[in-house]
Amino acid sequence: MSHTLDSSRKKIRVLIADDERGARLALEVPLRLNGYEVATVASGREAIELGGLHQFDVVLTDVFMPDGGGLDVIREFRRLCPGTKVIAMTAQGSLETAMEAISEGAVDFIAKPFDLDQVMGVVERAAAQLQSEADESEPDFPDSGLIGHSPQMVRVYKLTAYAARTDTTVLIEGESGTGKELVSRSIHRYSRRAARPFTAINCSALTETLLESELFGYAKGSFTGASSDRPGLFESTNGGTILLDELGTTGRSFQASLLRVLQEQEVRRIGEHDARKVDVRVIGATNSNLEQLIEQGLFRADLFYRLGVLRIKLPPLRERGVEDLKMLARHFVKKYGPGKQISNEAMGQLSSYSWPGNVRELENAIEHAVAVCTNHIIRVSDLPEHVVGQETPGITTPQRVEPLSLIDDRPTLEELGRRYTQLILAETGGNKSRAAEVLGINRRTLYRYLGADGVSISADDDDGEGSPGDSHES
């Protein structure tokens, strides 16, 4: 049976986890030959670690492995990457094992020794299901406002998900307009604190004295105008999340006070001696290079390390690629002008601009275009003048992060051909005539493949063939 992938679709990334090298090879070769991108590991622990670093579409995992079993793999991928289709395999198959694998989230179950066509069929069905889900969801955009499929944004999504599972402090870095507050709100929304308040404050908009009084509160009479006690934002946000934006603009005195809050989980109102306990998750955000500010003596290194337990760096729009820009543009058109569309020429003009103001600037440009557009098609003439008139480098294609980069011994096409020939020969029980028929080659070519790999070929084959030099060979 021939298995081919639709060349118009993106390649499906497959991870194989099996402690038996022969089983890994038997799956890797035909999957590669049929257009899949494949990475292999020898344990469940390695599979889980690799899944935390790279995105896979399909996982084939053995159930019983000495270092982290397949059920652990299924559970972790279901938790971390719910869109990944996990297929369980085992030579110790039973109804109980199959039921447990399916209940944990596996989409299918294959017993060993497996039939190659069956495996390929199962993988193809999983790939088709993934594509169907992607097609169905494409017109809709996430409520979070975080949109894009580039490798940089996939990494942001993963780190955001990791942050939401914990209470650790987070530092979000990125140029203005890249979506730092959107990431912060997403972390809060999917955390255990979601039912409690989310408070955002722009540190650059206030003097240091006002900033401390806003965040920490003050006691009556502590300064002129303090006519009553007032709790600060840390107290009013108790149980929730507070975003401190533009932290790089704060002074060292405020930084020292903030560090004390993070370390002691308590605040002291201005004018009071007693501290009050608070339970607030702090997220810092900055468009400054804090490490450079530390070198210049403008930012405390201890606060930087305390905030940066988990760092999320947002890429500028110009580095995210044309596809991300198109997705964002369509999203904003849908948001501000339902029923309107954007012409190919206008989209091309958007792609040729570098967007120094990032996603926020793109949103403003689309809102402008929708406002001046006189029909249902947004054209180049509807875009802001600075977007149309400025010569800029435009959007660049981001560097892809491939799972295959983790494989040191990536085989050549010739090596894949030899491996696949050996695989088919093993499946036919050593019958070379049958293997040649399956492969669609003559026996002389088959011998050449096998001989090139150092396989000894005898003159008297057990399937009744003659030697490689038989005159009747065509």
What is the 8-class DSSP label of residue 178?
S
Q: Which two tokens stand for residue 349?
A: 């003009």
Calpha distance 68→54 (Å, rounded): 19
Largest interatomic CA distance in the chain: 109
| Cβ atoms 317, 178 nearer than 8 A | yes
User: Is domain 411-474 given the CATH code 1.20.1530.20 in the classification?
Assistant: no
Phi and psi, residue 365, nearest 5°: -65, -40
Contacts of 244 (CB under 8 A, 6+ apart): 201, 203, 258, 282, 283, 284, 285
The one-character DSSP state at 249 is G
Burial label for 138, CB within 10 Å (0-12, 13-18, 19+), is: exposed
**pLDDT given at position 92:** 63
For residue 139, whether the previous peptide bond is cis, meaning omega lies within 30 degrees of 0, is no
Distances (CA, A) of 163 to 147, 265, 302: 18, 19, 21
SS3 237: coil
Contact criterion met (CB below 8 Å) for 109 and 95 = no
pLDDT of residue 457: 38
Helix, strand and coil content of the chain, in percent to the nearest 5, comes to 45, 15, 40
The pLDDT score that the predictor gives to residue 422 is 74
CA-to-CA separations, 427 to 370, 432, 439, in angstroms, rounded: 62, 11, 12
Rounded Cα distance, 317 and 152, in Å: 10
Does the fold of domain 151-313 match that of domain 13-137? yes
pTM for the model: 0.56
Domain ranges of the chain: 13-137, 151-313, 318-389, 411-474
CATH of 13-137, one of 3.40.50.460, 3.40.50.2300, 3.40.50.720, 3.40.50.620: 3.40.50.2300
- Rounded CA separation 102/90 (Å): 13
Which residues in the chain come in under a pLDDT of 70?
A: 1-10, 92-99, 131-143, 390-417, 419, 427, 449, 451-474
Angle between helices 322-336 and 344-351 (to 10 degrees): 120
Given this model, what pLDDT does residue 364 score?
Answer: 96
Homologous superfamily of the 151-313 domain (CATH)? P-loop containing nucleotide triphosphate hydrolases (3.40.50.300)
Residues 6+ apart with CB under 8 A from 272: 219, 222
Spatial distance between the Cα atoms of 202 and 206, rounded to a whole number of angstroms: 8
Angle at 400 between CA 287 and CA 78, to 5 degrees: 90
Chain centroid to CA 78: how far? 14
Separation of alpha carbons 131 and 444, rounded Å: 41
Report helix, strand or coil for 32: helix
- Burial (Cβ within 10 Å: 0-12, 13-18, ≥19) of residue 34: middle
pLDDT score, position 110: 79
Does domain 318-389 correspond to CATH entry 1.10.420.10? no
Q: 3-class DSSP state for residue 173?
A: strand
Distance CA 105, CA 188 (A): 27
Q: Return d(Cα 99, Cα 302) in angstroms, integer.
A: 51
Contact predicate 91/120, CB 8 Å: no
Q: How many residues belong to the chain?
A: 474
